[in-house]
Amino acid sequence: MIQVIRFKFEDTEYAKQAFAIRRKVFVDEQGVDPALEYDKEEEAHHYLLMITDKPVATARWRETEKGIKLERFAVLTEFRNRGFGEIILKEVLKDIVTMQRIIYLHSQLRAVPFYERNGFVKKGPVFYEANMGHYYMEFTG
C-alpha cells in the first residue's frame, strides 16, 4: 500500500524518517554538507511517501518571495525509477497548484528529464548549489 503523508516539522516521528532519507540521498550519496541540507525546516510543508510502513521518498515546499519553491525531493536508491518520485511530486502539485503563484525548483542536472516529463521547463543557464550543477525550472502544467 502506497501512502503519502503530509506533515510539519513539529511532527517529529515523520520528520526523523524524512530526514533519514535526505541524509542517505543528499549527504551520504551526494556529499552535500549537512549545514546546507537542513535549513528552513519550520517554514516548509513536508511529505513522506510510505510503502506499507516503510518510508521511501520525501519532499517539501515553501513559500518564497518568488513563489512556491519545491525542494528536497529524494527517493531511496532501491526504490528509484519505479514511479515513486512522480507520485510524491503529483501530491505536492495537487496541494499548491490552486495557489496561483509561480511554482519553481532548482533541479540537479540528472533530474531535469524527470521534471520536464512532469510539466517543468528550464529557465536560464546552469548554476551551482552544493557543488552540483542545477537548472532553475518553472512549472507550466
> Residue 130 and residue 14: Cα distance in Å, rounded?
25
Q: What is the mean pLDDT of residues 106-124?
A: 96
In a domain, 123, yes or no: no
> Residue 69 and residue 101: Cα distance in Å, rounded?
10
In a domain, 105, yes or no: no
Residues 9-20 pLDDT 10s: 888 899 999 999
In a domain, 122, yes or no: no
- Read off the pLDDT band of 82 (50, 70, 90): very high
Cell 516539522 sits on residue: 9
Tell me which of 131 and 69 has the higher pLDDT. Answer: 69
Say how many CA atoms lie within 13 Å of 12 toward its Cβ: 0
Q: Is residue 136's pLDDT more than 80?
A: yes
pLDDT on residue 76:
97
- Read off the pLDDT band of 46 (50, 70, 90): very high
Looking at every residue in the chain, the average pLDDT score rounds to 94
Length of the chain: 141
In sequence order, the 6+-apart residues with CB closer than 8 A to the CB of 45 are 6, 8, 60, 61, 62, 95
- Tally the domains of the chain: 1
For 45-111, the three-class secondary structure string (H helix, E strand, C coil) is EEEEEEECCEEEEEEEEEECCCCEEEEEEEECHHHCCCCHHHHHHHHHHHHHHHHCCCEEEEEEHHH
pTM: 0.93
In a domain, 109, yes or no: no
- Structural domain span for residue 55: 2-99
Residues 19-37 pLDDT 10s: 999 999 999 999 888 887 8
pLDDT on residue 137:
98
In a domain, 126, yes or no: no
Q: Is residue 117's pLDDT more than 90?
A: yes
Cell 507520485 sits on residue: 87
In a domain, 137, yes or no: no
> How much of the chain is in helix, strand and coil states, percent to nearest 5?
35, 40, 25
In a domain, 26, yes or no: yes
Report the CATH number that the domain containing residue 32 is assigned in CATH: 3.40.630.30
In a domain, 29, yes or no: yes
Q: Is residue 38's pLDDT more than 80?
A: no
Percent of the chain with pLDDT over 90: 86
